[in-house]
Chains A and B, each alone.
Chain A
Amino acid sequence: MSDARLSVFKTYKLYVGGKFPRSESGRVYEVTDTKGTWLANAPLSSRKDARDAVVAARKAFGGWSGATAYNRGQVLYRVAEMLEGRRDQFVREVAAAEGLSKSKAAEQVDATIDRWVWYAGWTDKIAQVTGGGNPVAGPFFNLSSPEPTGVVAVLAPQESSFLGLVSVVAPVIATGNTAVVVASERSPLPALSLAEVLATSDVPGGVVNILSGRTAEIAAPLAAHQDVNAIDLAGADAELAKELEIAAADNLKRVLRPQPVDDWTATPGIERMTAFLETKTVWHPTGSLGASGSSY
């Protein structure tokens, strides 16, 4: 490399409604690697950014939840394809973010891509696994099906900046929810770069919205927001999680409490999907046409 060549820095931005705005607050904070070397200035999101992201997520919910499961699977798989193409970039970013060797970081990124593929395959199977017909004792057709609960606020895990992030975001959108994601506070850059992948992967704008900044500051308005249906507290410590869970009770949000995860590479169960699904049971009479005794 020639010394004369000056590298081009990237201005990291938020991802809201399919666009890349700066924080409306105009604030940024310094992101460093594990040794303290400056990497970039990331947006320091405000309450207003959080509210804008909720509006975008709500707007996207109808289309995304109404898309066929097959289509959602295709879109998710496309994300994996795009990630594969940017593999080297993410290896560099994850290595810097988490202080990993290049080979360890590569393992994380490979596992992350595989995770997208795993969830891509779930979109058109989860309804078969969690729904079904109920043999009621009467002349009724009766079917239970899972449906997405709506807009889900996701506090990404603090330590696993990429694999952990994708492990909590993919299940939320695979099932048709839309997400407002708060990236790892110390290591937000892989998440902000993921936004660039999502933007070029046929994921409709607003389905995933990514904010960076102080987790506690952004999470508070999300937990209290009346138009957020659920919250995943993965990235909150015990004290913050309790505070947010209390706030979430105001509109009876579905709350997924922080779960200890020893190994993010282990195959996840379906709990992260079912946590944000509702079960709808539809009844309809069958058989006898009525008191006259006639029937089909």
Chain B
Amino acid sequence: MEKQTPVFEYAPAPESRAVVDIAPSYGLFIDGEFAEAADGKVFKTVSPSTEEVLSEVAEAGEADVDRAVRAARKAFETWSALPGSERAKYLFRIARIIQERSRELAVLETLDNGKPIRETRDADLPLVAAHFFYYAGWADKLDHAGFGANPRPLGVAGQVIPWNFPLLMLAWKIAPALATGNTVVLKPAETTPLSALFFADICRQAGLPRGVVNIVTGDGRAGAALVAHPGVDKVAFTGSTAVGKEIARTVAGTRKKLTLELGGKGANIVFDDAPIDQAVEGIVSGIFFNQGQVCCAGSRLLVQESIHDELLDSLKRRLSTLRLGDPLDKNTDIGAINSAEQLARITALADQGEAEGAERWSPACELPQNGFWFAPTLFTNVTQAHTIARDEIFGPVLSVLTFRTPDEAVAKANNTPYGLSAGIWTEKGSRILAVANKLRAGVVWSNTFNKFDPTSPFGGYKESGFGREGGRHGLEAYLDV
């Protein structure tokens, strides 16, 4: 397709990074203090859009994880004994400070993750603050949460989070844990450790007692040590299904309570009576939000055969208007892929899609010289047997399949080991309800997609994991029920 000549060019609108002061090095946050790793190891974190080294971060080993768990255990005695109303006030303080510092955190997150400032500013940070506000209010109302009178906290929560929404996943994990009276040791992802370390400073500003929140940075080995630590009472993990299975094996036979938020291969189903323009917007946000690095991404588009060509034309036209480039530019829609490793995975899977005979299309777009970039990509003529229709790609790659009847749509949508999300586009209310009923997925968006809210439980069926985060349901993971 020829590149359309825009009537007006966009002037660059860069967000200033002066608002963020990144130190050349960071330690682990244990028992209210920053400290070097016991063996002095460090690793670098880079900006995915430029490959610039942002900072050096301590790499936690087993001894450090052990120290963090002990600190959390010690803090648990007093933290869990606090009246809920006092815990609530700490969480409200944290929520407020996040709001105050949201511009700083949005820029930081964009630098460390590569996602556009438009998303960190308008989606991530408001949701992060909202989660702390929501769970703050639960802290003194747990008797009314539906789990019986006086539900008790579990103890020390070991939490391992991914790199796609570093601060948001932190909020999803820490807010309900603290509200219910648990203390936490959180391990952020290796490629995106900075916002968690800034969060440590927010805990300090809020006057949170020492040891209630501990942050151990490092790679999968630190995560594995945390999950396996005998002093951990609850394990919460968001990440790949493969690692989730490994964690499930690790905690087998222990008393540790486990919740897992894992991969997905969400189906976005468009019926022939759907409002096309709205559906196109939903498809775009479904798979190109956060460069497609979203576990609940609508990575399989199921289109009713009769509108396939019309919808694809609209979709391609829309994709041609997406702007890829500097994530700090407020005009940018598509930012950088988080790491070289992830880029290689996306590239390999897309190439495999082509090799298996699917038809590949991308809008004309120039990729920057430095950094990790992948153009928004569409595959048509995809069947259910194709690897790109089965494996989670975790990138801006959409596979398009067709169907004729609602039953066929449901059968194809459910034909996956995953069960996290799905979308339905139709003007017919009865069809929405009937199809939503039959989909084996934890979140069903009808005539919308990729909407999140702290009051709303989120989580998967089947191999997308178990347990729910958010809402009243999200409390259960941190209570002895």
Contacts and interface: CB of A to CB of B under 8 A. Distances in A.
Contact of A280 (B245, B249, B262, B443): B443
Given A242-B252, A283-B448, A142 B453 contact: yes
Nearest to A269: B148
17 contacts: A134-B453, A134-B456, A134-B471, A136-B456, A137-B455, A138-B451, A138-B453, A144-B471, A242-B252, A249-B252, A252-B245, A278-B461, A280-B436, A280-B441, A280-B444, A283-B444, A284-B432
B252 A282 contact: no
Contacts, number: 103
Nearest to A62: B438
A281 B457 contact: yes
A281 B466 contact: no
A67 interface: no
A187 to B, nearest CB: 26
A255 B467 CA distance: 12
A267 B248 CA distance: 31
A137 B130 contact: yes
Interface residues of A, number: 35
Contacts of B406: none
Contact of A144 (B417, B456, B481): B456
B443 A140 contact: no
Interface in A209-257: 229, 238, 241-242, 245-246, 248-252, 254-255
Nearest to B453: A136
Contacts of B455: 134-137, 142
Contacts of A271: 481
Given A252-B248, A252-B262, A281 B253 contact: no
A240 to B, nearest CB: 10
A249 B252 CA distance: 9
A25 to B, nearest CB: 29
Contact of B457 (A129, A144, A242, A246): A144
Interface of A: 129-130, 132, 134-138, 140, 142, 144, 149, 229, 238, 241-242, 245-246, 248-252, 254-255, 269, 271, 278-285
B466 A254 contact: yes
B445 interface: yes
Contact of A281 (B248, B456, B465): B456
B29 interface: no
- A140, A229, A241 pick with most chain B CB within 10 angstroms: A140
The DSSP consensus for interface residues of chain B is loop
Nearest to B472: A132
Contacts of B148: 269
Interface of B: 130, 146, 148, 241, 244-246, 248-249, 252-253, 260, 262, 417, 432, 436, 439, 441-448, 451, 453, 455-459, 461-463, 465-466, 468, 471-473, 481
Contacts of A130: 146
The DSSP consensus for interface residues of chain A is mixed
B252 A283 contact: no
Contact of B249 (A241, A246, A285): A246
A282 B436 contact: yes
Contacts of A285: 447-448
B443 A281 contact: yes
Contacts of A136: 451, 453, 455-456
A281 B442 contact: yes
A245 B456 contact: no
A245 B481 contact: no
A284 B442 CA distance: 15
B27 to A, nearest CB: 34
- 3 A-B pairs closest in CB distance: A242-B253, A249-B248, A245-B252
A254 B419 CA distance: 14
Contact of B417 (A246, A248, A251, A278): A251
Given A140-B448, A229-B462, A249-B248, 4 more contacts: A246-B249, A248-B252, A254-B466, A279-B457
A134 B463 CA distance: 25
Contact of B444 (A138, A149, A281): A281
A250 B463 CA distance: 9
Contacts of B248: 245, 248-249, 252
Contacts of A282: 436, 443-446
A144 to B, nearest CB: 5
A137 B391 CA distance: 33
Given A136-B455, A138-B451, A283 B463 contact: no
